Structure 1
């Protein structure tokens, strides 16, 4: 009696999302059970093919459950979580590239300048036109 009173106080979109979630979960479970039963019968006929089918059914059921969870979250109006592992990996890669660039810049800036000094010398040529005008 108390539980039904709480369910009545939910908003209409929440009830619709909850109903959609329950229908989706039952459909995925039924499909998973049917596929698992097919995989079990195939395992009896050929061991090698059944192992492959079992892995395929397991991965398909996992994918279906993950998609169902995302669909329920979308129906409930929740945003997907941030991909923290991707963000942290990108930050670490950026830091490593920045460190390498900084080290290369310091190494280029600290090399011996006396080797690179070039002295320019003016050479007077006897047949230059500037000399004839003087």
Structure 2
């Protein structure tokens, strides 16, 4: 109660200054929290962007290095090495396709033999047969 009386007895400019100070401190503290949150968000997004850019630059640098070495070898008169991985993988894919085609052909062939057994041949008399065995 004593403090309330003291605050009431202050003149009007002091009370206004006190209220302004309290508003300022609360605004600064809330702005500080907002800035901290924004900074955290920006830092997180910045790290993600930097990581993506680093990957992109790294892969571009790697490609540039590879092309430079190929150009240097071409200028030196050296032929590029055979792409053994590509050749081996193509051979394996070809073998797999050949195996699948062979299996399908064998299955179709064995199914065709069954159909031949089920066919019944019928002797038909034709009226104008050139052979003359009719009749």
Does 1 or 2 have the higher relative contact order (CA < 8 Å, sep 6+)? 1
Query: Is residue 62 from structure 1 mapped to residue 66 from structure 2 by the alignment?
Result: no
The corresponding residue for 1:114 is 117
1:46 is paired with a residue of what secondary structure?
Answer: helix
Per the alignment, residue 52 of structure 1 pairs with 52
Equivalent in the alignment of 2:88: 88
1:101/1:49 Cα in 2 relative to 1: closer, same or farther (>3 Å)? closer
Deviations 1:8-65, CA, capped at 9 Å, x for gaps: xxxxxxxxxxxxxxxxxxxxxxxxxxxxxxxxxxx8x932322222112211211111
Runs of 4+ aligned residues of structure 1 deviating over 4 Å after TM superposition are none
Flag the 1:62–1:114 CA change in 2: closer, same or farther, 3 A: same
Unaligned runs of 5+ in 1: 1-42
- Structure 2 alignment gaps of length 5 or more: 1-42, 130-135
- 1:1-134 paired onto structure 2 within 5 Å: 46-110=46-110, 111-112=113-114, 113-115=116-118, 117-123=119-125, 130=128
- Paired residues, number: 84
Q: 1:3 — aligned with what?
A: none
1:52 to 1:101, Cα distance in 2 relative to 1, 3 A:
closer
Supply the RMSD in Å over aligned alpha carbons: 2.7
Label 1:106 to 1:75 Cα distance change in 2 as closer, same or farther (>3 A).
same
Q: 1:48, 1:86 → 2: CA distance?
A: 35
| Higher helix proportion | 2
| Bigger Rg, structure 1 or 2 | 2
Q: Residue 26 of structure 1 aligns with which residue?
A: none
